[in-house]
Amino acid sequence: MSESTKLVLKTESTRKLKDQLAKYGVMTGGILVLCALLLIFFYLLYVVKPVFDSAHVEPRNTQVTLQQSYFAIGIEEQTEIAYAITNDGTVDFFNVQSGQTDNQLDSIQTSIPGNITAYSKSAPHKGLYGFINDDAQLTIIKPFFKVDFKNNTRSLTPVVQMPLGTEPLPELFDDEGYTVDKFSFAEEEGVVAVLYQLQNGSVRFARYEGEENMFTEEVEWLLEQSDLDFVEGKVEHLLISPDTSRIFILTKHELYVANSRVGSDVELLYTKNISRKNQSLTSAELLASANSLILGYKDGLLTQWFEINGDAGRDFVMVRDFKIDVPSANKAIKNIYPEFYRRTFIATNSEGEANLFHTTSEADLWQGKLPVNDVIDVSFSPRSNAFVVLSNDKISVLNVENEHPEVTWSGLWQEVWYEGYSEPDYVWQSSSASDDFESKFSLIPISFGTLKAAMYAMLFAVPIGLAAAIYTAYFMAPSVRKVVKPTVEIMEALPTVILGFLAGLWLAPIIEDKLPGVVLLIILLPVAIFLTAFAWHNIPQSVRNRMPAGWDSILLIPIVALVGYFSFEMSPFVEEWLFDGNTRLYITNELGITFDQRNSLIVGIAMGFAVIPTIFSIAEDAVFSVPKTLSSGSLALGATQWQTLVKVVLLTASPGIFSAVMMGLGRAVGETMIVLMATGNTPIMDWSIFQGMRTLSANIAVEMPESEVGSSHYRILFLAAFVLFIFTFVFNTIAEFVRQRLREKYSSL
């Protein structure tokens, strides 16, 4: 075998080895990319899944036998110690950990003077308990726990505090012979409000305001009172908001809502008929934040009421209802027990059967039988991971797994009626400074914002990008194309954070100040280009021949610059002539359109500028790659350049052109920094070009650093990422499907 033959065989074997390595290398890379996508997909599902898990309630293996009667129960946040309160103010503490037999820990007797005639408890998050004696004096106590870490061991010490001092508040009234029959109270920043009923049936309101004496440092209480003469009928329930601003009085048929900010002049706001045919009212309670009132009826129906701003002004309306689902025939709601901060509550009947509801999501979370029938009181732990049940003879603790009651599939994608809103709406508002804030997790506004931002960006980018790509590939001189194409492609390397920064801080103020000039530019620029082309077409052939072929587009550069300069210079005159000197004010007042400085127009221009290079590069390659034989054959048959372009070149390049548009759309949907910096990030649903939006990607970027790991907010942000993933996957799938169909259709050209 000759040396040349050996060399040829060696070269062929080397080439074959390289081909095999390349084949399997590309295959391995593709498989790894697919695996990465699948891992992302399933990881997002793994993080999101818990928000849709149902609530689970399980009795703890501990029961405390009681030797006396109590009226209220509570439990600390670690759910290790519970306390029960007698009607004389004694507080007993019990160990309620699983498997404990020695339950009694401590008993603290409070110094409440006189004979107690009535007792009540505050909103759960306040943790206050009030007692009124036969001298109409109010005493308030608060059980709590001191935490210590001696010897690196955590220990809890039960304490009973008297937050308003050891002495009771001054007498509510001085009518001899009358005592308080029932009452409700609230304390907020040195103000104590008391809504009470005397044994003779009259209802009164008292408001204490404490002022510290600068000399003795003692708190002096100023008392204001009102007789609530507007109440008619037997009073069933008295309720007062934790901030002392509202009082609620319920009779069998009527609900009275009054403004109690001024103790001496209580203003009746609403009187509502709450009666139902043959179904009497059996229970009433305020939810967390006291914006919502829950009413329970004999047939097991529960209704939610809150104040709204309607067409006729402020009103107090019934918004939604729930139905207790219990096996027994006795469905009458005995009591309602709310959580500390969330809109979750337990409704019980006299048989010890209970339902766990959440109002915002309208979810029936759990139904079951409590360990006792004769339920006296139920109290959630501060973390809502357990609740303790008090009966006549024992205390029971139930562990709760209910991390995300406010999240349901319908709540994410359908309208929800939130507290204070005049009607159901799509709202995203995930956080607030208040612990009892009602989270709003509708994904519709931010999904809408994503599509809106992409639409305006594509409206700006597609015409410019495609037109530039077609002209560059088909008409432009090769020497000019060598400069233009790399220049446009380099634009894609610009950091989007820089584009967003310039759009938000430089472009937005300019467009706001020169808005008439922008509109004038949009109108005049096409006209100027058309007139320039018309003039160029009609000048003598000898003059046109002096311009090298494919260089005539250079003539438009000074035209565009002059038209732009003229439009912006004329902007103040147009504004004064048509808009009374203030375009923004005219748009807002005369047209009724809200104008935000960082709006969809800014996003469309800035994000369109970022998308143009993607569309241009892919579309230009597609058009330029059309075989020259096709266009030459068309021209040889007598077709003009435009006919050849439209009937041959564009049809052949249509798969690539469509891919370019869809790639640009995918880039626009996933863009983060431009929409983050160039809009007000307001999650509103409005197609107006003068208002902003919030997109899925920008929402994740803004809120993920502040979300609590494992919280509903955190997991819903991952759900937003999953939705964005699905968006891009669907767009890319459609793009590939259409591209293949176009390629099959026009491959024979």
CATH classification of the domain holding 383: 2.130.10.10
Distance CA 568, CA 40 (A): 48
Domain count, the chain: 2
- Look up tokens 């001189």; give the residue: 477
Direct distance between the N- and C-terminal alpha carbons of the chain, in angstroms, rounded to an integer: 49
Range of the domain at 658: 443-746
pLDDT given for residue 102 in this prediction:
63
- Tally of CB atoms within 10 A around 74: 24
Domain assignment of residue 86, yes or no? no
Angle among Cα 391, 393, 398 to the nearest 5 degrees reads: 50
Alpha helix stretches (DSSP H) within 417-555: 444-474, 478-491, 496-502, 508-513, 515-538, 541-545
Tokens read off for 486: 């790399």
Higher confidence at residue 176 or residue 412?
412
Domain assignment of residue 618, yes or no? yes
* Sign of the alpha-carbon torsion through 294, 298, 299, 300: positive
Q: Do 324 and 387 fall within a single domain? A: yes
Mean pLDDT highest for which of 190-199, 586-595, 621-630? 190-199
pLDDT given for residue 3 in this prediction:
65
Q: Do 375 and 518 fall within a single domain? A: no
Distance CA 587, CA 502 (A): 25
Going by C-alpha positions, the residue among 114, 116, 97, 208 that lies closest to residue 163 is: 208
Domain assignment of residue 241, yes or no? no
Angle among Cα 414, 417, 420 to the nearest 5 degrees reads: 150
- The DSSP code sequence of 354-415 is EEEEETTTTEEEEEEE-S-SS--EEEE-TTSSEEEEE-SSEEEEEEEE-S-TT--HHHHHS-
pLDDT given for residue 550 in this prediction:
66
Lowest-pLDDT range of 42-51, 287-296, 623-632, 740-749: 740-749
Tokens read off for 719: 């759900």
Mean pLDDT highest for which of 11-20, 77-86, 488-497? 77-86
| Average pLDDT of the segment spanning 328-347 | 89
- Look up tokens 């973390």; give the residue: 383
pLDDT in tens, 271-300: 999 988 888 899 999 998 778 999 999 988
Task: Indicate if the pLDDT at residue 490 is higher than 70.
Answer: yes
| Average pLDDT of the segment spanning 708-714 | 89
Q: Do 407 and 447 fall within a single domain? A: no
Q: Do 454 and 340 fall within a single domain? A: no
DSSP designation for 279 = B
Q: Do 464 and 495 fall within a single domain? A: yes
Going by C-alpha positions, the residue among 214, 239, 211, 215 that lies closest to residue 223 is: 211
Distance CA 115, CA 74 (A): 24
Distance CA 549, CA 365 (A): 75
Task: Indicate if the pLDDT at residue 606 is higher than 70.
Answer: yes
- Categorize the per-residue pLDDT at 748 as very low, low, confident or very high, splitting at 50, 70 and 90: low
pLDDT in tens, 195-230: 999 988 889 999 999 887 766 667 788 889 999 989
Domain assignment of residue 103, yes or no? no
Q: Do 380 and 488 fall within a single domain? A: no
Distance CA 359, CA 322 (A): 9
- The DSSP code sequence of 650-695 is HHHHHHHHHHHHHHHHHHHHH--HHHHHHS---------TTS----
Task: Indicate if the pLDDT at residue 456 is higher than 70.
Answer: yes
pLDDT in tens, 386-426: 999 999 888 999 999 999 998 988 889 999 999 888 889 99
pLDDT in tens, 121-173: 999 989 999 999 888 889 999 998 888 888 788 888 888 988 888 888 888 88
Task: Indicate if the pLDDT at residue 585 is higher than 90.
Answer: no
Domain assignment of residue 82, yes or no? no
pLDDT in tens, 352-379: 899 999 999 889 999 999 988 889 999 9
- Categorize the per-residue pLDDT at 9 as very low, low, confident or very high, splitting at 50, 70 and 90: low
Mean pLDDT highest for which of 125-134, 309-318, 678-687? 125-134
pLDDT given for residue 23 in this prediction:
86
Lowest-pLDDT range of 95-109, 264-278, 604-618, 665-679: 95-109
Task: Indicate if the pLDDT at residue 190 is higher than 90.
Answer: no
pLDDT given for residue 474 in this prediction:
86
Report whether 520 contacts 563 (CB < 8 A).
Answer: no
Distance CA 94, CA 68 (A): 13
pLDDT in tens, 77-103: 888 899 999 988 899 999 888 766 667
Phi, psi (degrees; rounded to nearest 5) at 276: -130, 145
Distance CA 713, CA 709 (A): 9
Task: Indicate if the pLDDT at residue 1 is higher than 60.
Answer: no
Q: Do 398 and 471 fall within a single domain? A: no
Q: Which of residues 395, 423, 451 is at a domain's end?
A: 423
pLDDT given for residue 478 in this prediction:
83
Q: Do 370 and 507 fall within a single domain? A: no
Tokens read off for 170: 């001054």
Summary mean pLDDT of the chain: 87
Give me the CATH number covering residue 667: 1.10.3720.10
| 170 CB burial (10 A radius; 0-12, 13-18, 19+) | middle
pLDDT given for residue 6 in this prediction:
62
Task: Indicate if the pLDDT at residue 749 is higher than 60.
Answer: no
| Average pLDDT of the segment spanning 470-479 | 85
| Average pLDDT of the segment spanning 299-314 | 87
Task: Indicate if the pLDDT at residue 445 is higher than 90.
Answer: yes
pLDDT given for residue 197 in this prediction:
92
Alpha carbon of residue 15 to chain centroid = 59
C-alpha dihedral, 335 to 340 to 342 to 348, nearest 10°: -20
Q: Do 407 and 494 fall within a single domain? A: no
pLDDT given for residue 2 in this prediction:
64
Q: Do 419 and 476 fall within a single domain? A: no
